[in-house]
C-alpha cells in the first residue's frame, strides 16, 4: 500500500476505533513502509477481523500477520518474485546517455527477470544543500527507465518521484518494483 491507501485504511479504522488519531506524515510514511506489499483489500479485512477479536488498537504488525496468514492459507505459491529490486549505480554523476546504458547493463547483470510493467524510484544521496536541477533529475529518471526497457526488463515503466537524501557521499540507486497493471 502507498501513503494514500494507508491514510484511507486508517480513516476506516478510526471509524471503528476512535482512539486512532488522524495520522501525521511520519506515521503515514512508517505504516506505508511496513505495508508496502499488502493489498488494500487485505488490510481492510485485517481491520474487520482485528476489531472483532480485540479491543486494542490495530498496528501494522496486526495487518502484516493477517496478510501472512492469508498467503499461507492460499497454499504454496509457485515462486514468489521479490517485492522489489535495487540497482546501485557505480557512478552517480553519469550524463543521461551513459546512465541509460549503465542501467541496462546493470539490470542484465543483476538478473532481474522481465517484469512487463514496473515502477522505478531513484534514491539519490547528495551532499548537503545540493539537490541538482530539476531538468537534470527528470532526464536521469527517464534515462534509467529507458535503460530498463533496453534491457528487456520492462515494457512500461511508471516513474515515481525521486527520493533525495542528504549525505556527504554521493550515491544513486534505482528501486525497481513490479506493478500488476499499467
> How does pLDDT run across 123-156, given as a tens digit for each residue?
877 766 555 667 777 888 899 999 999 999 888 8
What mean pLDDT, rounded, does the chain reach? 84
Residue 182 pLDDT greater than 50, yes or no = no
Cell reading at 83: 517485492
Q: According to the CATH classification, is domain 85-178 in 3.40.50?
A: no
Task: Give the start-to-end residue ranges of the domains of the chain.
Answer: 3-73, 85-178
pLDDT at residue 100, rounded to an integer: 94
pLDDT at residue 105, rounded to an integer: 93
Q: Sort strands 154-159 and 85-88 into parallel, antiparallel or unpaired.
A: unpaired
Per the model's pLDDT, the better-predicted residue between 71 and 58 turns out to be 58
Q: What is the mean pLDDT of residues 173-180?
A: 83
pLDDT band at 11; cut points 50, 70, 90: confident
To 5 degrees, how large is the angle CA 94–CA 97–CA 101?
85
Per the model's pLDDT, the better-predicted residue between 150 and 74 turns out to be 150
Q: Sort strands 163-166 and 116-126 into parallel, antiparallel or unpaired.
A: parallel
Q: CA 91 to CA 98: how far, in whole Å?
A: 10
pLDDT band at 12; cut points 50, 70, 90: confident
- The mean-pLDDT minimum among 46-50, 90-94, 177-181 falls in 177-181
Q: CA 142 to CA 158: how far, in whole Å?
A: 10
Amino acid at each position: 500500500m502507498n501513503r494514500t491507501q494507508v491514510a484511507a485504511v486508517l480513516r476506516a479504522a478510526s471509524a471503528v476505533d476512535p482512539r486512532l488519531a488522524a495520522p501525521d506524515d511520519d506515521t503515514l510514511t512508517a505504516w506505508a513502509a511496513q505495508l508496502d506489499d499488502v493489498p488494500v483489500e487485505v488490510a481492510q479485512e485485517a481491520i474487520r477481523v482485528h476489531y472483532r477479536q480485540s479491543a486494542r488498537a490495530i498496528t501494522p504488525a496486526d495487518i502484516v500477520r493477517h496478510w501472512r496468514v492469508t498467503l499461507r492459507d492460499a497454499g504454496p505459491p509457485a515462486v514468489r518474485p521479490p517485492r522489489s529490486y535495487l540497482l546501485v549505480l557505480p557512478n552517480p554523476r553519469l550524463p543521461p546517455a551513459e546512465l541509460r546504458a549503465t542501467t541496462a547493463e546493470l539490470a542484465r547483470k543483476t538478473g532481474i527477470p522481465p517484469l512487463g510493467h514496473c515502477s522505478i524510484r531513484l534514491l539519490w544521496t547528495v551532499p548537503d544543500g545540493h539537490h541538482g536541477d530539476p531538468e537534470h533529475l527528470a532526464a536521469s529518471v527517464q534515462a534509467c527507465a529507458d535503460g530498463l526497457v533496453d534491457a528487456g526488463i520492462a515494457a512500461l515503466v511508471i516513474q515515481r518521484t525521486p527520493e533525495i537524501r542528504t549525505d556527504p557521499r554521493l550515491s544513486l540507486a534505482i528501486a525497481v518494483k513490479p506493478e500488476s497493471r499499467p
